[in-house]
Amino acid sequence: MSEAVRSTRSAAASSHVEAAASYRQTGRTASGRRIQLEARGLKKSYFKAGHEIPVLRGVNLTVQQGEFLAVIGQSGSGKSTLLHLLATLDGADAGEVWLDGMRIDNLPRRRRDALRNRKLGMIFQFYHLLPELTALENVLAPLMIAHGLWSWLRHRRSHVQNARRLLEQVGLGQRWQHLPRELSGGEMQRTAIARALAPGPAVLLADEPTGNLDQHTGAEIMQLLRSLNRQHGLTIVMVTHDLANAQQAHRVVRLVEGRIESA
Amino acid sequence: MYKYLLCWRYLRSRYIALASIVSVTLGVATMIVVNAVMAGFAREMQQRLHNILSDVVLESHSLEGFRDPEWHMELMQRAAGDDIERMVAAVHVPAMLSFQYGGRGEWITRPVTLIGIDDEAPEQAAEFRQYLQHPQNRKQFSFRLRDGGYDVYDHQAQDRGTPRPEMRHAGWTHRRRMAELRRAAAQFGRQSPDASSQQGAHDHRAAEDEQSSTPSVPDDAELRGGDTARPAQRPSRAARSADPFARGGTERRFDPRTEQHTGLVMGIGLASFRLEATDRFLLLPGDDVRLTFPTAGTPPRAVDDTFTIVDFYESKMSEYDSSLVFVPLRRLQELRGMIEPETGIGYVTSIQIKLKPGRELNQVRDKLRALFPPQLYSVSTWRDKQGALLAAVHMETAILNVLLFLIIAVAGFGILAIFFMIVVEKTRDIGILKSLGAGGRGIMGIFLFYGLLLGLVGSGAGMVLGLAFTQNINAIADALGRLTGRPVFDPDIYYFYEIPALIEWPTVTWIVLGALGIAALASVLPARRAARLHPVEALRYE
């Protein structure tokens, strides 16, 4: 199992280089599936009023390609922080993040930006849509960021088609012209999912995607994520505090006191 | 790409930012208007000054003048002949202008500058001719009174402006009519010998103003029409006595209906006044006036002579329009005793020099200065004469520009503050964009471009506003004048009859670029702050 691999890896922390080398050669875990995303010994503390508050105390996590992993934990257990570190939005105090056999946390800022743009889709509890843009434009936003003005204008038609298709896929085919404030919570989250999927990412990082939705709508969103995972083989890492939601994933791990425990 | 889309959306949704840009708009508009007016003012004034004053003037310090202008001209021709296009001799002398006004026998006396000009010189100052009121005189000037046809509308105004109805009668028509009236008055005076000249004068006006049936209420009649403001002139003894001098000493009686005295061109401001934005005339071409001026001898004595107004001079520089009187040079020389009886060689007080185009004024001036002893002569350019005025205008423009640009700079701080607010407001969006893979540069670009766009909108609107205002500045001034009941631009006070405005495109470009630069600069700090926002903190920001 991957857990086993992970534990041996962490045990052999001193022989990181060799492990990485073998991983790079095969790109596969013991189970035969490729490892897509991996966290190795991630540590992160915050400083508040001069006191160090450790949040992550050495998180090891391996996500296989096509896996739907749920990370559960109580509020303040560092779930979001872990996700931010995986997305390279924040830097860890110690530890490494690997994506598709490449260490990504120590890349130059611009490469990390590009990676986040193309490979890592993110959705959030509060949807985080840009309020000035319509649903369609929100979905197009990562593509616009990826392209300069001229290349955007050249490929605009295919991008728009792609985005319309994604919106249809998440069930918002008719509402693409609406602004976020004209959409319901569930619709906003669907738009956010479509946006995360627009560049064709390797991994979808979901931060409490149902946290702000009622049970029914939340279930719909979970349904959507599951079907994306199943039909398109999308790797999903979801953090949540809701065990019921978490249990719809392939695998659930628990974040307790800054460390991962298998659930 | 997202930068431009977001900027555009921000521009359309953040009206507060547009409010901050209003000050830029107003600043730019004001700067354009002020610069246009100042430039127009300076240009107009330079042109007029230059037209009135010749390029370089050689003057004697003494009113007596210097002997033999031809000799002086020859000397100068030898020294700087290549630069000089033509030279004209003239006599400048202070004088008193007297005329009778209102038919009440009241004499009005005004100090003037009397200039003797050579009307024989073929192209006697085209610049001088263009300010005259008779179209024929503007083509070919002569000191002879014209029959009529003087401009009723100001020929220099772009639109026709307010008419001067009294000018319709100017010329021989007016002269004959006045002569008839005077004759009738004289007969009336003979019939009732005890009637005062004042009473007689009343009747002139009564006869002239056909509607006036009550000569006993002179003030009323006087207020009613402009015509009543005309002088009723008594045939003056001086005129008769001076006349034979002009006409070779014939004892024949001078008939004002068919004859004129020596011609005279008068600054229009001396003969008219403005009442409710129309020109009313005290005198018209065809009227006679008396001039008293000093002779050239030592000590100077006052001599006087009667002249007939043949035209008005209107340069629109009120300083000149209300002080200059032109008479024929030869006649003035005779009257002042400036002609040597034995040789016939005249004296003049100045030689006006016109340079060929493109010559360096000061260089020629210095060349000519070397020729003459500075104790007796002064050589100066027109810029020297009015240099203080021109320098003052330039100084004023510079100070106004500094002040107005400070206003735009203040607007820049407004933009800075509002941009900081917008960055704070948009903190979460910045976090979102960063989570979507936007780099710091891209985020900075949003706000820099936004600032530039706002600057563009602000200064563009300011430019349009400023140009529109400048184009219609006189209409606006008139409307304001009507609204407040007080003329905004009173031509009696200023040099010009309407506000001159000259749009200089380089200036406009600089103003707009400056405003754009300030708007862009003001957005740099907030944009940097936005670029440096930590994405996680930004995302967490509520």
The predicted model gives B368-394 an average pLDDT of 86
Name which of A48, A113, A133, A147 to mutate to probe chain B: the one with the most chain B Cβ atoms within 10 A of its Cβ. A113
Residue of B nearest to A80 (CA): B536
CB contact under 8 Å between B2 and A145, yes or no, is yes
The amino acid at B433: L
pLDDT at residue B21 greater than cutoff 50? yes
Instruction: Give the pLDDT confidence score for residue B496 in this predicted structure.
Output: 64
CB contact under 8 Å between B433 and A133, yes or no, is no
8 A C-beta contact, residue B148 and residue B322 = no
The predicted model gives B273-300 an average pLDDT of 85
pLDDT at residue A176 greater than cutoff 60? yes
Q: pLDDT confidence of B196, banded at 50, 70, 90?
A: very low
Looking at CA atoms only, how far is residue A115 from chain B in angstroms? 7
Instruction: Give the pLDDT confidence score for residue B112 in this predicted structure.
Output: 94
Residue of A nearest to B537 (CA): A90
Q: Return the bridge partners of A103, or none.
A: A98
CB contact under 8 Å between A90 and B536, yes or no, is yes
Residue of B nearest to A109 (CA): B439
pLDDT at residue B224 greater than cutoff 70? no
Set of chain A residues whose Cβ sits within 8 Å of the Cβ of B10: 132
Set of chain A residues whose Cβ sits within 8 Å of the Cβ of B433: 130, 141, 145
Q: What is the pLDDT of residues B519-534, one digit of tens each?
A: 888 899 999 999 988 8
CB contact under 8 Å between B1 and A149, yes or no, is yes
* Segment of A20-34, A230-244, B177-191, B472-486 carrying the highest mean pLDDT: A230-244
pLDDT at residue B173 greater than cutoff 60? yes
Closest of B112, B474, B134, B39 to residue B277, by C-alpha: B474
Q: Is beta strand B262-267 parallel, antiparallel or unpaired with respect to B347-348? A: unpaired
pLDDT at residue A27 greater than cutoff 60? no
Averaged confidence pLDDT in chain A: 83
Q: What is the pLDDT of residues B44-61, one digit of tens each?
A: 878 777 777 788 889 998
Instruction: Give the pLDDT confidence score for residue B191 in this predicted structure.
Output: 67
**Among B1, B13, B432, whose Cβ lies nearest the Cβ of A152?**
B1
Q: What is the pLDDT of residues B347-359, one digit of tens each?
A: 999 888 888 888 8
Report the C-alpha gap between B25 and B512 in whole angstroms. 10
| CA A91 from centroid of its chain's CA atoms | 16
pLDDT at residue B232 greater than cutoff 80? no
**Among A110, A116, A152, whose Cβ lies nearest the Cβ of B435?**
A116
Size of interface A-B (CB pairs under 8 A): 74
Looking at CA atoms only, how far is residue B450 from chain A in angstroms? 14
Q: Which residues of A touch B (CB under 8 A)?
A: 81, 84, 87, 89-90, 109-110, 113-118, 122, 124, 128-133, 137, 141-142, 144-149, 152-153, 195
Residue of B nearest to A120 (CA): B436
Report the C-alpha gap between B320 and B143 in whole angstroms. 20
CB contact under 8 Å between A141 and B2, yes or no, is yes
Looking at CA atoms only, how far is residue A1 from chain B in angstroms? 32
Q: Rounded to whole angstroms, what are the CA distances from B502 to A169, B33, B40, B279? A: 63, 9, 4, 27
Closest of B112, B111, B53 to residue B350, by C-alpha: B53
Q: Is residue B158 packed enough to be buried (19+ CB in 10 Å), middle (13-18) or exposed (0-12)?
A: exposed
Instruction: Give the pLDDT confidence score for residue B192 in this predicted structure.
Output: 57
Query: How are strands ordered across the β-sheet holding A102-103?
Result: A51-64, A35-48, A94-99, A102-103
CB contact under 8 Å between B437 and A133, yes or no, is no
Residue of A nearest to B446 (CA): A145
**Among B1, B434, B539, whose Cβ lies nearest the Cβ of A147?**
B1
pLDDT at residue B210 greater than cutoff 70? no
The predicted model gives A118-134 an average pLDDT of 89
- Dump the DSSP string for B71-84: HHHHHHHHHHTTTE
